[in-house]
Chains A and B, each alone.
Chain A
Amino acid sequence: DAMVIQNPRYQVTQFGKPVTLSCSQTLNHNVMYWYQQKSSQAPKLLFHYYDKDFNNEADTPDNFQSRRPNTSFCFLDIRSPGLGDAAMYLCATSRDKVAKNIQYFGAGTRLSVL
């Protein structure tokens, strides 16, 4: 059974129209991450939550925001999607920040911007 669940798997939005991607986890992990992965490129960390503490990567565009209302759920909000934001968005979790902690990934949401 999937432990990190992302919905929807495919999302189409229009240029400039806000969109929200969701992630839920059944692992009760403290840390949740959002990555952006463009075709044939490395996943790029956008931000992460350690419990309720939010950490933004320095180069994450202001257009991207995140919410974590409880342990199980985390949302990625793109306020005004541009064509360059079309990508696969991966959610991941880890138990905590200890070095060996494995990150478990969801299947991703592929975002298209028309």
Chain B
Amino acid sequence: GQNIDQPTEMTATEGAIVQINCTYQTSGFNGLFWYQQHAGEAPTFLSYNVLDGLEEKGRFSSFLSRSKGYSYLLLKELQMKDSASYLCAVRNDYKLSFGAGTTVTVRA
């Protein structure tokens, strides 16, 4: 079975940093994806990790520890437009199993 956990909600101030954690227990692992989903819109790809360590892409970074079944998405210099749901997804073969998403609210 697949079990992917992430916090339901987080709130942060504009300009701050927020870290969204994701833990997973899955029957197989071919990589971990993070997607951003604004209300009423399509999920859009943010990052992909398959090896342990940190991947940095502008204001967003993603970390993976396969031995711990753990990842995080780090959002720096938060902007109001970053208010959205962030979905952690584990790839097993060709399929993605998603967490329920973390709703991030950025306050002025």
A47, chain B: closest CB distance, angstroms: 11
Partner of A102, one of B40, B48, B87: B48
Q: Determine the interface band of chain B, counting residues with CB < 8 A from chain A.
A: 20 to 34
**Chain A: interface secondary structure?**
loop
User: Are A105 and B50 CB-contacts (below 8 A) given A42-B4, A43-B98, A100-B31?
Assistant: no
Q: B43 touching A43 by the CB < 8 A rule? A: yes
Q: How far is the CA of A48 from the CA of B44 in the complex (A)?
A: 19
Q: Across the interface, do A97 and B94 meet the contact criterion of CB distance under 8 Å?
A: yes
A31 to B94, CA, bound (A): 10
B4: A residues at CB distance < 8 A: 42
Q: How far is the CB of A66 from chain B (nearest CB, A)?
A: 16
Q: A20-55 vs B: 1/0 string, CB under 8 Å?
A: 000000000001000000001111110010100000
**Bound form: Cα–Cα A104–B96 in Å:** 12
Contact at B43–A90, with CB atoms within 8 Å? yes
Checking A31, A42, A44, A101 against B101 with a beta-carbon cut-off of 8 angstroms, the contacting residue is A42
8 more A-B residue pairs beyond the given contacts A42-B97, A104-B45, A105-B42, with a C-beta to C-beta distance below 8 A: A40-B101, A42-B99, A43-B98, A45-B95, A97-B94, A101-B94, A102-B45, A108-B42
